[in-house]
Copies of this chain bind each other. A is one copy, B any other.
Amino acid sequence: SINDQLQSIKPKFFLIKMIKVKTVYSSFIPLQGPLLALRDWVAIESDSSNVLKRPDLHRMMEMAAQKLRLMGGTVELVDIGEQELPDGQTLALPKVVTAQFGNDPNKHTVCVYGHVDVQPAKLEDGWATDPYNLTDINGNLYGRGASDNKAPVLAWIHAVEAYQALNMELPVNVKFVIEGMEETGSNGLDAMILAQRDTFFSDVDYIIISDCGWLSRRPALTYGTRGNCYFYAEVEGPKQDLHSGVYGGTVIEPMTDLVGILGDPSGKILIPGIREAVAPLSDEEWRMYQDIQFDIDNYKNKIGVNELMYSNKVDLLAHMWRYPTVSIHGIEGAFSDPGTKTVIPAKVTAKFSIRQVPNMDPAMVKKQVTDYLHSVFAKRKSPNKLKVTMVIGAKPWLADTQHPLYDAGKAAVKRVFDMDPDLIREGGTIPIARTFQDVTGKSIIMMPIGGFDDGLHSQNEKMSRYNYIEGTKLFVAYLNEVSQIKHTSV
């Protein structure tokens, strides 16, 4: 474990170079700090999708707040109310942590957004190590949430700490918004942003999000994300599970109904209206995709498949970033353990999601999916009951890459990595990006530090030491670059 390793570690340090008005400041920051902090954060199973883990999630928010308080920030834990569960019960949402460092009206103010909740993970899913015990193997730090999004949030915190350690003034005012419901659709955050638009967010000039990854070994800046509509399709039949030998042949089985309405020989999205809403691919986009560094063989190797949906780079990038896709994640209520069980499950709920792109509208998609499934189900003339629920409805987001925020990003990447970043989009969803844009009207940049092979949402998620530490340096440099943006261009 990291702990054992730290016991035996020789004092190691990493170099922070900060460039301010042509002067180089150097500082040695102990490496233990970031590693211990990440270990402590990963140790908390802050799974926002599992209601049984809610106490851990509350603890995680408190831990993040305490860290920022100890650094001297002005910290608040904002109550964002309750969550309504599908069964009608309510549950307290994790509070949102806001923090502020500096309030000089002559400086720009950036607001860093991040989240400290995680996707589910169990050792039995096929992890090589305990997902909640950060483990360093060959310079990679394995643990659930390491890359998504705990290390990036900590890297931003370390960037502020680096200035403090050098007794240097921050070049911009830095605010934090850290939430705990990102993995399930940022429940409650929209309302909180709206409520604080004219208070906490009123002096914010730019919003920075580091909740994604590079596309290759080349650093990247991200200018778009897909949204996501997540559905439950529940088919309910008998009042309890039945023995398939004793009852099989007499009851209309919910599982047969469910698989029947999901199953489709083509594997395409059959729902009318979905594809029609998608913005067409422009020639300019096509050319841009052509120039991006993306190794198809590398991608295949990483995933471990011989064949992809498409065989050329532009088609692949386009279907990763700017076309919708449907994934069936699994079925709750059926027999899913190892071994054999001869059961007719009484109530089964399929979970699937459709990634959203411009110009799809989640409200419309909800209606399209619900109508379609009910029409297919009606044809079965089943006595079972179908219930379709959309539990997440997150919009896509797209930024203007010509904005000075992106120029500052390119400069910071150049400074730390000595190369130009790729300008990329993200297939995944950062639901709140779109809300920030719509509600605050501020410009947003996504500045990832995660590696292309970090395994977000998968077994063996990791963040490399290299990306964690160089990423921290990038953020230090970026704060400085942003301070150079002319005030007129805000």
Contact = CB atoms under 8 A, between A and B. Distances in A.
A105 interface: no
Q: Give the interface size bracket for A toward B.
A: 35 or more
Contact of A50 (B213, B244, B337): B337
Nearest to A226: B245
Interface string A450-467: 000001111110000000
A336 interface: yes
A328 B256 contact: yes
A335 B334 CA distance: 11
A323 interface: yes
Given A243-B427, A327-B344, 13 more contacts: A47-B339, A126-B240, A238-B303, A243-B428, A245-B457, A248-B325, A249-B323, A249-B324, A250-B320, A256-B267, A328-B334, A330-B334, A343-B457
Given A248-B355, A336-B330, A338-B332, A240 B304 contact: yes
Task: Kindly report how many copies of this chain are found in the complex they form together.
Answer: 2
A342 B426 CA distance: 15
B344 A309 contact: no
Contact of A342 (B327, B333, B342, B380): B327
Interface stretch (A22-30, A106-114, A193-201, A257-265): A257-265
B241 A458 contact: yes
A332 B327 contact: no
A250 B309 contact: yes
Given A184-B339, A244-B355, A345-B329, A250 B426 contact: no
Contacts of A305: 237-239, 251-252, 383-384
A428 B248 CA distance: 9
A98 interface: no
Given A253-B327, A259-B259, A305-B251, A246 B343 contact: no
A455 B239 CA distance: 12
A353 interface: yes
Interface string A378-395: 011001100000011000
Q: SS class of chain A's interface: helix, strand, loop or mixed?
A: loop
Contacts of A259: 259, 262-264, 328
B340 A184 contact: yes
A319 B119 CA distance: 44
Contact of A307 (B252, B307, B330): B252
Contact of A263 (B119, B120, B262, B428): B262
A336 B342 contact: no
B240 A342 contact: no
Given A245-B427, A458-B240, A49 B339 contact: yes
A373 interface: no
Interface in A213-249: 213, 226, 228, 230, 237-249
Contacts of A243: 427-428, 456-458
Contact of A341 (B265, B329, B429): B329
A202 to B, nearest CB: 32
A230 B340 contact: yes
Contacts of A257: 267
7 contacts: A49-B340, A125-B241, A242-B303, A256-B267, A260-B263, A329-B340, A330-B343
Given A246-B320, A427-B249, A328 B49 contact: no
Contacts of A226: 245
A316 interface: yes
Contacts of A379: 265
Nearest to A456: B243
Given A244-B327, A263-B260, A457-B244, A250 B336 contact: no
Nearest to A50: B339
The 10 closest A-B pairs by CB, nearest first: A263-B263, A239-B304, A245-B428, A49-B339, A330-B334, A330-B335, A307-B383, A336-B336, A249-B319, A249-B325
A461 to B, nearest CB: 10
Contacts of A247: 303, 320, 427
A351 interface: yes
A332 to B, nearest CB: 5
Nearest to A345: B330
A310 to B, nearest CB: 7
A234 B191 CA distance: 44
A51 interface: yes
A403 B375 CA distance: 54
A90 to B, nearest CB: 16
B49 A341 contact: yes
A255 interface: yes
